[in-house]
Amino acid sequence: MTSGLPVPSQVGHAGISSLIMDPECSQLLPALCSVLADPRQPVADDTCLEKLLDWFKTITEAGSSLLLLQENPCLLGLLCHVLKPQDLSPRVLSFSLRLAGMLAAQEDCFQYLQQGELLPRLFGEAGPLGGAAWTAPSVRSGWIQGLRSLARHPSALCFLADCGAVDTIFSLQGDSSLFVASAAGQLLVHILGLSLQGPAEGHPGLQTGDWPVCAQKIVSHIEESLRSAATPQITQALNVLTTTFGHCHDPWTQVLWGRLSPLVACLLEKDPVPAAHSLVDLLLSVARSPVLSSSSSGLWETLAQTLSHLSPTQAGPLALGILKLQECPQVLRAQAFAVLLQPLTCVLEATAQAPGLLDSLDGTGGASVTVDTLLPSKAACVGLLCRTLAHLELLQPLPQRPSPWPQAPLLGATVTILRLCSGSATPTSDAGGHLCAFLVGCVRVQRAALDFLGTLSQGTGPRELVTQVFAVLLEYLTSPDSSPTVLKKAFQATFRWLQSSPETPGCSDLDPHAHLFLRELLPVLPKRLCSPCWEVRDSGLEFLTQMIGRWGGQAGFRRALLASEVPELTEQLLRDPESYVRASAVAAMGQLSSQGLRVTPASPEHPGGQQKSLLAELLHILSTDSEGFPRRAVMHVFTQWLRDGHADVAGDTERFVARVLQVASQDLDWEVRAQGLELALVFLEQTLGRPSSHCPYAVTPPVAAPPSSLAQALRPLCRVQLFEFAFRALFDCDRPVAQKSCDLLLFLRAQTASYGGPQGSGSVPEVASVEAALQRWQAGDQGQPLGYLEPEVVVAVLRSMDLEGLRGALAESSDRVEKSPQSLLQDVLATVGALGEDEADCY
Amino acid sequence: MPEIRVTPLGAGQDVGRSCILVSIGGKNVMLDCGMHMGFNDDRRFPDFSYITRNGRLTDFLDCVIISHFHLDHCGALPYFSEMVGYDGPIYMTHPTQAICPILLEDYRKIAVDKKGEANFFTSQMIKDCMKKVVAVHLHQTVQVDDELEIKAYYAGHVLGAAMFQIKVGSESVVYTGDYNMTPDRHLGAAWIDKCRPNLLITESTYATTIRDSKRCRERDFLKKVHEAVERGGKVLIPVFALGRAQELCILLETFWERMNLKAPIYFSTGLTEKANHYYKLFITWTNQKIRKTFVQRNMFEFKHIKAFDRAFADNPGPMVVFATPGMLHAGQSLQIFRKWAGNEKNMVIMPGYCVQGTVGHKILSGQRKLEMEGRQVLEVKMQVEYMSFSAHADAKGIMQLVGQAEPESVLLVHGEAKKMEFLKQKIEQEFRLLPDAKKPRLLHGTLIMKDSNFRLVSSEQALKELGLAEHQLRFTCRVHLHDPRKEQETAMRVYSHLKSVLKEHCVQHLPDGSVTVESILIQAAAHSEDPGTKVLLVSWTYQDEELGSHLTSLLKKGLPQAAS
């Protein structure tokens, strides 16, 4: 393989090469190029070529491409070789085009490749473009991506014009492969931006007639497309403009929009409006551009015109986009909001709600739209309502949302929609009847409405409406027809509404209104906790955990909860067949117990009850549950208990920690082991005297006097065998465990230093034996347990270890060796011919 | 011709991150949502930007369908639903719903453990995603909305794998996912009825291959394991949590039993119980043999296969260990590999595909000196074997499925472009899918006249459009039997006889005294004239026509004499 190109000058590049590619890779590269150039040696794994390009990208971005070519002539050889007529794989051809583009991104390298006429042969008519390989989408894609990389400098622009590439890109905009078509559009935007970077930047007053030829050609093409009768061509032109105005805010975009906006406006005169979706995107992109929105006089009129021309479905996203704009005329905002609210107005009207609500929803006071025209069929009705509710949900939390925000009518409309869906609304009009028939049982609308209802909890509403909100939520939570996904959303919305309820002054308890609701809600919860669907049981438990976390300390809530079956049922769910539910039950029980809401055997409600202690129950789950989720949930609860000084733990903390660590250290799930170390860290902090936050309802453990000596401080840690766990974990096969252990021991070492003095003077044989064990563990042997370690030995071992070095090594991801370029090259070379026919498979 | 648009967002002409967008009759359905294990960046997931630009995903997409639990078909699902923002329904079969989160969780743990990726989906996200799933039964027509319906068919391949028919009005598409047309140790063969879709989207992993009998591969596998164990070596079999692992476990368990071998077999990470649980739960999804044996003995309750403890790896003597993950790229399997690699008596058997960059890929490509962390070089002296136990249809199987479904057009995905081209020609040759005006074509359907227009539509569609109720047509036949006993006793004798003869079918004796075999109903009645004769009234649907005829001919031969 010879390039026939002159040897490039090395002046000015001395000393850089070593930074570009390491010698091992340089050595392997010729073999790689030979393999790629040989059609009889197909590269088995298609990800390899992608990764090779990633590597070349890093290299070319970091250093000189010319030098890379000079040091590795095999690359040039490969590029020349792929041009020869042969049965080369489209993947390799595509790879070569992309590589050539990457290299030619630097002007000196571009000039060098031009000297050998290599680039026209690769990207011009004489190359793959005119051959059979062009039928492969991967080759067309490679051609575009190659040019995209190459187009970085003025010389590239001349090249594009000379080789007729722009015309090919125009035609590729309509390519059968979506990926190719989309990339072609992006490339046009890039070329337009590049060609105007120099000339138009300096002269903002320059008209398009004075623009470089390449840019003029693209503009003419866009104009032609906008005038076309074919929607796909119009869409392509609109998409190119949207991307251009979205990415570039240079003054020349103003000139461009000035020239093209009349053509865009003409589209609105057609019926139906072609490519409405793309048109909306373009207009919003123009409105968001600081350059265009401030200067374009007719923009707001065009937007207003578009809003009124488009169908309600098409106008929704435009209305939302307008309302999200920071700067926009008030009239247009009002019009946009009216468009957005139209479907809800329609619902309220059809269900004969109070006219006062309608006025505030439909600010324009224009002719109201009927259900028949706006929501003519079930599909149209469902689609439009879902979209409207979602748009309003997005708008609600924004600072630029319309003001005043019609909270009450929106609440009214949402509650009405939910009632229509559940069948509990009894509309009297025909239109209402139609709506009811469309919406009854519609899960999609229920989900969207519940999401929006939850968002509306951030505002306030008249008491009467809030009562209705709670009533409809209760209806959904109670209804046997509610699907699991709907129930989940109903629980979420309920929690948000309860949270937003005003608290009773002084006692931070739930307001009487919410409290009343809670009394009705708690009898519903047991039914959901007994649901045959695990999704429902789980959502019920998640809701319960949130509730206890928020109101567990409040007397009214506590009374209501204890009077219900909920605590007992929750405990039963610890043995649920579904692991997700068991994990949620563990979390809920942990909360119940922390708040003193678990019905204990000693309680007067259950005299003579033979109940196992929760601690024992959770330890049992930790040791025996076959799934990781419940075990992880237990560790989370235990850590929280230890942190909060939970009564069951505070009684004999050392015994608790020792038992938990013993079980957690044996767990096969690394996340449980990592959480074990988290718990160890909490214990360590408590033992060494760092203050930790206490839960107001927890039993406060007796405050230990600060230990007088280091040995005394470390003794409890030694007794719970924390060090054996931590030292073993340092060499755990799962990296996060090792990292956590390393951090823990580093923290401990720093703490021990504060006690001062060389106290790490354990007996030499003991220290040596621990160090020997550490070496065995590092080598992968399990070995015998260390048994009790004296604090002095621990300190000595800690001080002798290179924990910083270990932490550094662990900070690197464990597949960095496999991910290295050298490994990639070795793999590609080794794979050639090694894998059989059936290498492709699923996993 | 109806307009059906298919946009592969992944696995168009490659394997990995299967994700196909189908637009049919104004509905948009996403078929599978897989990931590519060969990449660690954005490229591991399908390019969803093509659909996010169409506005809110939940509004744009009517549903997502997952064909089976392999990660290249479901690995991007939590990302798509919890991070990209799809909030609509996700359909999959019951076993897929049960097993999917386990594999997703495994994948998440490896990504976080090995690569330390922070911006990754969490356990909570997997759970929230699974809560959006609607589980379906085989052959159950599920109405996604008023216009869109879907139906699942058995696909073999792995437990719970299904092919899906998507239907809007009279237009339909069948998506196969991955399937297997030959039964294996634990699963049956894929099957679909003559649903005649407008389009069949089929995988084509083995588009040009006629695969050898799996028996040969199984024999080879057992021989290799046996040899290694006999010479005192240790055998490591890296596997993914569920699927192929269970097939190989059954194979080894049976072999150990037969050969009376004593070397221990271990299975890591508590997977035995988990797998056992799911296979027991979904026993109807396994093959006939396992279902039948299940009555006497659960084939997944292994006698020889025990749970693995990390300390066992250092035990002396031979052993076989199944450990995760399957590509030797992290965790326990890699740890054991590092321990055992240096001994030439040991063996590692890779039963599946490994992506570039993994230790599995390296050793399969023949590399024997591996650079590990900290510049350590690991010399691989142990024997390395690759045995593909993947369960995809080969070229013959794909042709068979095309023949079964009788589609108007076929779209090949999940394979290599070159091989697809070859298969395309074969299909065109054999089935002449291209319209040939001169050649008569057989059309099935119901001609309906509505609004002065004639249209040929499927019978289900015709019923729907005309608002008619379906009537079931049953074939009937009377068989006379000489039997002086009471009708109930005759029915009991018929039941016992058929139960012993038709072992492949579900024979039931109902409380009202009648006997059923699949859809066939048999009732015994007294003869109006001859008290010594009983009349068997047999009826069946047209779907079971073959079985109905077979059964009547059986009954006509009479019942065996009862043992005295």
Range scoring the smallest mean pLDDT among A95-104, A318-327, B347-356:
B347-356
State the Cα–Cα distance between residues A397 and A456, nearest whole angstrom. 9
A427 band by pLDDT with thresholds 50, 70 and 90: confident
- What's the N-to-C CA distance of chain A in angstroms? 39
Give residues 365 to 394 of A whose Cβ lies within 8 Å of B. 378-379, 382-383, 386-387, 390
pLDDT tens digits for range A133-162: 899 889 999 999 999 999 999 999 999 988
Stated as kind and residue range, the H or E segment containing B419 is helix B417-431
> Helix crossing, A791-800 with A710-719: angle to 10°?
100
Measured in whole angstroms, the distance separating CA A291 from the mean position of its chain's CA atoms is 31
Q: Which residue has the higher pLDDT, A647 or A784?
A: A647
Q: How confident is the model at residue A21 (pLDDT cuts 50, 70, 90)?
A: confident
Task: Compare B78 and B111 and report the one with higher pLDDT.
Answer: B78
Contacts with B104 from chain A: Cβ below 8 Å: none
Nearest chain B alpha carbon to A667: B269
Closest C-alpha to B175, from B513, B478, B411? B411
Min Cα–Cα distance to chain A from B331, Å: 6
Give pLDDT tens digits for A309-334.
Answer: 998 889 999 999 999 998 899 999 99
- Here the tokens at position B296 are 């006497």
Q: Is the pLDDT of residue A191 over 50?
A: yes
Annotated catalytic residue within B82, B171, B203, B253: B203
When pLDDT is cut at 50, 70 and 90, the band that residue B249 belongs to is confident
Residue A363: pLDDT band (50, 70, 90) is very low
pLDDT in tens, A39-93: 888 776 778 999 999 999 999 999 999 999 999 999 999 999 988 877 788 889 9
> How are the residues of chain A apportioned to helix, strand and coil, as percentages rounded to the nearest 5?
70, 0, 30
DSSP secondary structure letter of residue A605? T
**Given this model, what pLDDT does residue A472 score?**
96
The predicted structure's pLDDT at residue B176: 96
Q: At B238, is the secondary structure helix, strand, or coil?
A: strand
Closest CA to B115 of A43, A19, A815: A815
CB B135, CB B94: distance < 8 Å: yes
B361, A827 contact by CB (below 8 A): yes
ipTM: 0.88
CB nearest A834 (choices: B7, B38, B365): B365
Nearest chain A residue (CA) to B390: A841
Four-CA torsion B121, B124, B125, B128, nearest 10 degrees: 170
**To the nearest whole angstrom, how far is the Cα of A663 from the nearest Cα of chain B?**
14
CA B159/CA B244 separation, integer angstroms: 10
Range 261-290 of B in CB contact (< 8 A) with A = 268-270, 273-274
How does pLDDT run across A641-667, given as a tens digit for each residue?
999 999 889 889 999 999 999 999 989
| Residue A693: Cβ within 10 Å count | 7
8 Å CB contact between B501 and B557: no
B372 touches chain A (CB under 8 A): yes
Residue type, A352: A
Contact (CB, 8 A) for A526 and A567: no
Degrees to nearest 5, angle at CA A540 with A539 and A544: 115
| Residue bearing tokens 């690995």 | B75
Query: Do residues A391 and A317 make contact, with C-beta atoms less than 8 angstroms apart?
Result: yes
Question: Closest Cα of chain A to B250: distance in Å?
Answer: 20
- Taking an 8 Å cut-off on Cβ atoms, the answer to whether A841 and B89 are in contact is no
Active site residue B203: yes
Q: Read off the tokens for A790.
A: 């004296």
CB-CB under 8 Å, A831 with B361: yes
Q: How far is CA B345 from CA A781, B234, B312, B372, in A?
A: 20, 7, 17, 22
Maximum Cα interatomic distance, chain B, rounded to a whole number of Å: 95
pLDDT in tens, A590-644: 999 999 988 665 444 454 445 578 999 999 999 999 888 999 999 999 999 999 9
- Residue B412 phi, psi (nearest 5): -95, 130
**A132: which DSSP letter?**
G
Of all residues in chain B, the one with the smallest CA distance to A176 is B7
| Alpha helix ranges (H) inside A530-627 | 534-551, 555-563, 566-572, 579-594, 614-624
Question: What does the DSSP assignment read for B179-196?
Answer: --SS--SSB---------
DSSP string, B234-265: EEEEE--SSSHHHHHHHHHHHHHHHHT--S-E
Give strand pairing partners of A55.
Answer: none
Do the Cβ atoms of B362 and A826 come within 8 Å? yes
Supply the DSSP string of A723-763, one letter for each residue: HHHHHHHTT-SSHHHHHHHHHHHHHHHHHHHTT-S------
Would you say the C-alpha torsion B175, B178, B180, B183 has a positive or negative sign?
negative
Q: What is the DSSP letter of A823?
A: H
Q: Which of residues 228-267 of A touch B (CB under 8 A)?
A: none
Nearest CB partner across the interface for B146, out of A90, A378, A828: A378
Indicate which of B113, B176, B380 best probes the interface with A, i.e. most A CBs within 10 Å of its own CB: B113
Look at B395 and A815; give whichever has higher pLDDT. B395
DSSP B422-433: HHHHHHHHHH--
A815 closest CB neighbour out of B50, B115, B211: B115
Span B274-318, pLDDT tens digits: 766 787 788 888 877 777 766 566 666 778 888 888 778 889 999
A782-786, B256-260, B277-281: least confident range: A782-786
Q: State pLDDT tens for residues B12-49.
A: 666 678 999 999 999 999 999 999 888 888 888 998 98
Note whether A303 and A310 are within 8 A (CB): no
